[in-house]
Amino acid sequence: MAKAVLMQGNEAAVEGAIVAGMRFFAGYPITPSTEIAEQSALRLPQVGGKFIQMEDELASVAAVLGASAAGMKAMTATSGPGFSLMQENIGYAAMAEIPCVIVDVQRAGPSTGLATSPAQGDYMQARWGTHGDHPVIVLSPSSVLETYTLIIRAFNLAEKYRTPVIFLMDEIVGHLREGVELPKAGDLIINRRKMSFHDGANKQCYFVPEGEYVPAMKPFGQGERYNITGLAHDQSGFPTNDHAIAGRLIGRLLDKVNRNVDNIVRVEEYAMDDAETAVICFGGTARAAMSAVLEARAAGRKVGMFRPITVWPFPEKQLRARLPQLKSILMVEHNYGQMLLEVQRIVGGAVPVDFLGRIDGTVIPPTDILEKLEEREAKQHAQ
């Protein structure tokens, strides 16, 4: 029987992570993600895990990488300012192929901004925040239940592809409290990392068989010793200045995500089968978008909702498949147009793309979305 509980989004992130196998959390309190640290401090000792409050966000993600390299599933959580501080080590994790989950509960910015107010202004930072070409997987939940189940998927993806996975929440979802029925543990899929053990000094710790993209991982915590570096490296893990080897390495890092997009990307579509207008949204904005779509449908208008769950890689194939039926798109997000840029790139002018954003720390109500839809409808009739 499913377990019915009253749960907050931030709490669901911790409970789902523990079910996924998270046994180490290092973090630094920051609104609106602090409850994740608090709940981790309470719950991890109960399941044999470790919680450490670090001196700042740089140290937090560094500790997470060390724990993961030693063989533990590890996570940290932060908000915008702390997420900025983590970027260098996120790049290190991508290059060294250390799996981990970084939760970013977004708040209004820039700088310290409006610490308790909702926003989705970290979308582009989640993809491009660290330097250089690097693989990125970013997931964004829209409800408490989805936070619970999706963070399990975040750990699964991190372990499967040996990469950091960013869990892009927002204040709306993080502080939302609602009744949910948690799935039974037996119904959940939990991935374990692929392990490799080799004796001898010359260990090929980044060896990848032909046709594969992800090397098995060697655990420091079980007596294995090998070199880990953020520099371009060969299969032994030691730095190299050989451009051919470096090129193959970076290409493989990108390919392990790009060539598995169909296995990584998830999208929610509601009432899209006959939709002529698509409301595109993500994360906490989906609540208002869904309400607006339901009201528009009740009024006889062919409106649907298209919500990327995997926001990076963006569900390009799924959106392109809908373009022939659409007459217009409305992008709704709590920023000044970040996912909008990706939508415009994919649409390429095939249909009009309108935008509704907000950057003042308040939420977008369904009435504003409906008003925007009516404006587009009026323009189409005028033409």
161 token code pair: 């592809």
| Per-residue pLDDT, 199 | 55
CB 112 within 8 A of CB 176: no
E strand or H helix at 361: none
CA triple 220-130-86, angle to 5 deg: 60
Q: One digit per residue, pLDDT tens: the chain, 383 residues? A: 567 899 999 999 999 999 999 999 999 999 999 999 999 999 999 999 999 999 999 999 999 999 999 999 999 999 999 999 999 999 999 999 999 999 999 999 999 999 999 999 999 999 999 999 999 999 999 999 999 999 999 999 999 999 999 999 999 999 999 999 999 888 899 988 888 876 555 578 898 988 899 999 887 877 778 889 999 999 999 999 999 999 999 999 999 999 999 999 999 999 999 999 999 999 999 999 999 999 999 999 999 999 999 999 999 999 999 999 999 999 999 999 999 999 999 999 999 999 999 999 999 999 999 999 999 888 888 87
How far apart CA 20 and CA 255 sit, in angstroms, is: 25
Q: Is the dihedral of CA 302, 307, 313, 318 positive or negative?
A: negative
151 token code pair: 């963070």
| Per-residue pLDDT, 344 | 98
How far apart CA 157 and CA 321 sit, in angstroms, is: 25
Domains of the chain: 3-187 (3.40.50.970), 269-382 (3.40.50.920)
DSSP structural state of residue 265? -
What phi-psi label fits residue 337: left (phi over 0), alpha (psi between -120 and 50 degrees) or beta?
left
CA 134 vs. chain centroid, Å, equals 15
Instruction: Tell the burial category of 1 from Cβ atoms under 10 Å away from its Cβ (0-12, 13-18, 19+).
Output: exposed
In the numeric block, the tokens 């294995």 are attached to: 224
Residues 6+ apart with CB under 8 A from 80: 104, 106, 107, 109, 110, 113, 119, 121, 122, 125
pTM here is 0.96
Q: How many CA atoms lie within 13 A of 327 on its CB side?
A: 15
| Per-residue pLDDT, 192 | 87
Taking CA atoms, 187 is separated from 151, 183, 266, 288, 309, in Å, by 15, 7, 19, 30, 20
In the numeric block, the tokens 């050989």 are attached to: 242
| Per-residue pLDDT, 202 | 54
